[in-house]
Amino acid sequence: MVNFGPAYEPLVVTETDLIVATLFYAWTLGFGYFVGLHCVRESRRSKRWVSTYLALIWAEFFACIIYGTICWLYLLHIIPPGFGIFFATTTIWAIQIQCVLQIICNRVGVLLPDDRSRLRLKLSVFAFVLLINISVYCIWVPSKMGVDVKFKQINVVWDRVEKVIYLIIDMALNAYFIICVKRRLVAYGLRKYDALVRYNTGIAVVSVSMDVFIICMMSLKNDFVYNQVHPVAYMVKLNIEISMSDLIRRVATSTGNERIHVDFENASSSVTGASGQRGAVNDLHFAQNPVEVQIDTEVATDHIRLDNLKKREYSPRDADGSENGEDTDKRDPDTVR
């Protein structure tokens, strides 16, 4: 026998509630099928079976599916109300939030200068969001259990406030990523990353709109119908992040003068050539100003082939493009065949 508080109110589920919740749940499963295929594709592409990135996307995927299933079964009265269901849904919801934000942090970490900066970003976001998660355990669960009317009143306000906080964090991380790409790559001549900036700007709007969608759905009378929206929104966010990682990979390894392969899975600051041999970036330092980009190029035409010519986009050591007093136009005639 479950002991509810004096302020407990039994859940009333109307036919309209079931229809709306079923539509959201069906959409989660349908769209989740394609997102699952993307997760499988990312796993097959990975050089390692286990990585932080893969663990995050799979945890987010299963959290969305399980969360939507539990909420739907609860609305059908298959799962009875009680502390267990309320605690479980809160836990899975916390996993959803943490995973999607850590995936974004992993993407931002690609452009950070060192491991310490990446770790600081991830731990800061994790710790701050964890405090909010704990507050939800302390407010939402007692509110559902009917411990006291005050918990219900506080929950009405705090539930919306914490959603706005998540929206701000999402916006801040995406804005920081765009700024980093512009300052560290596009501004120094790596023009092909313009597509990355434009795409990320567009998906940032979509991602934030999902947070706004969740906040708007909070006006529904039935809390668990609104909760059915969570897996919908976060499944979209997960698909966005997977698409973003795929774009980073394709842009970084595309043909052109600059051939940069970013290890997205590890968010490593090291950058290696797409082929691992000739035609790789020798040095790409994401440090404070000045930034040096030194690139090997390979240009081939029908009659002329130029190999291993050093192309200096910018060097703080010699503003006129020469090094150690040597003329950059003097080349070994053996390099032209």
> Residue 29: what residue type?
L
Q: Is the peptide bond before 10 cis (omega within 30 degrees of 0)?
A: no
Q: Write down all domains in the chain, each with its CATH number in brackets.
A: 15-252 (1.20.1070), 270-335 (no CATH)
Q: Would you give the distance in Å from CA 239 to the centre of its chain?
A: 9
SS3 219: coil
What is the average pLDDT across 213-236?
Answer: 88
Instruction: Return the higher-pLDDT residue of 216 and 62.
Output: 62
Average per-residue pLDDT for the chain: 76
pLDDT per residue as tens digits for the range 122-144: 999 999 999 999 999 999 999 99
**Residue 39 pLDDT exceeds 70:** yes
Report residue 113's pLDDT band, with 50, 70 and 90 as the boundaries.
Answer: confident
Percent of the chain whose pLDDT exceeds 90? 38
Report residue 198's pLDDT band, with 50, 70 and 90 as the boundaries.
Answer: confident
Long-range contacts of the stretch 308-317 (C-beta < 8 A, 24+): 308/278, 308/335, 309/335, 311/257, 313/188, 313/189, 314/188, 314/189, 314/290, 316/290, 316/292
**Residue 20, CB-side half-sphere exposure with 13 Å CA sphere:** 16
CB distance 142 to 296 below 8 Å: no
* Residue indicated by tokens 């991380």: 173
State the pLDDT at residue 216. 86
* Nearest of 163, 179, 23 to residue 108 by alpha carbon: 179
